Structure 1
Amino acid sequence: MSNDGIWIVYDGECPFCSAYVKLVRLRDAVGKVRLVDARSSDDPIVGEMRARGFDLNQGMAMKMGDEYLHGDAVIHRLALMSGPSGTLNRVQAWVFRSRRRSALLYPIMRAGRNATLKLMGRRPIPDPR
């Protein structure tokens, strides 16, 4: 697997996750970004993230070169890299550029995501292990 660009593995059935990865406008700031839906993709990166112990039901995962991130570390890093265009993008960038704010807010956001998915009747992402 190539180390070129950035790989983001997310839950494609989560309305918040899907909206977030579209909001961040990374391609404008960093170039090649590969978005991978953990539910519907057979891409090897999904298995690679799981092999590293990342629970994809508990947060997005990201690979950038040889670095792997999960959960609040992903939104923090994305905020540092995202472009300044758009009001929502600037707000999320300001909030999550702080490592501390990211760590404090992420569990709350994850709980809201999990509750929403449950209300929508969506099951957790299956883990084939």
Structure 2
Amino acid sequence: MRDDPDPEGVWFIYDGDCPVCAMSAEIVKLRRNFRLHLINARDEGAHDFVKQIDAAGFDLNQGMAIIYQSQIYIGDEALALIAALSDDRHGWGWIVHHIFKSRTRSRVLYPFLRAFRNGLLKLKGVRPIDMKVSPRDR
């Protein structure tokens, strides 16, 4: 795990070319005691995060990732975690919190959300995120 400049923060790594992912990343508001860092996996500055997730055996084309307290959460686990940490007082935070905080609901619904994401990216002609770590980075 890389040295984390904000070990108490929540690092949300998402696909910035996916309209739903980008909108979700902007909508998510966490309770005041958490700092949210949004990382577009397609940005050059996200390279260390993508390498870290790739090294752990996860593929960001299969879902978003959360790094929280030195742990990596991917897909439905990330969705359930972000829902549990979300502000549940009003608006989208309330909806996300109450629907997806259940691991069972997240596990059941996440494949549909991922299929929707993949369909949108295909319609837009967007290529998958390059998860390959170049030889110079090894």
Mark yes or no: TM-score above 0.5: yes
List runs of 5+ in structure 1 lacking aligned partners: none
Residue among 107, 132, 137 paired with 1:128? 132
Aligned residues: 128
Q: Greater shift after overlay, 84-93 or 12-21? A: 84-93
Indicate the RMSD between aligned Cα atoms, in angstroms. Answer: 1.4
> Contact 1:5–1:34 at 8 Å: present in 2 too?
yes
* TM-score normalised over the length of structure 1: 0.91
Tell me whether 1:32 sits opposite 2:35 in the alignment.
Answer: yes
List runs of 5+ in structure 2 lacking aligned partners: 134-138
Amino acid paired to 1:34: H
The separation in 2 between residues aligned to 1:4 and 1:84, in whole angstroms, is: 20
Tell me whether 1:18 sits opposite 2:33 in the alignment.
Answer: no
Give CA-to-partner distance per residue, 1:20-39, whole Å, 9 cap, x none.
1111112x433322111111
- Measure how far apart 1:46 and its partner are: 1.8
Give CA-to-partner distance per residue, 1:7-64, whole Å, 9 cap, x none.
11110111111111111112x4333221111111333122101111111011011111
- Measure how far apart 1:85 and its partner are: 4.0
* TM-score normalised over the length of structure 2: 0.85
Give CA-to-partner distance per residue, 1:55-82, whole Å, 9 cap, x none.
1011011111122100000110011110
Tell me whether 1:115 sits opposite 2:119 in the alignment.
Answer: yes
Match of 1:99 in 2: 103
> Contact 2:88–2:95 at 8 Å: present in 1 too?
no
The separation in 2 between residues aligned to 1:7 and 1:111, in whole angstroms, is: 23
Partner SS state of residue 25, structure 2: helix
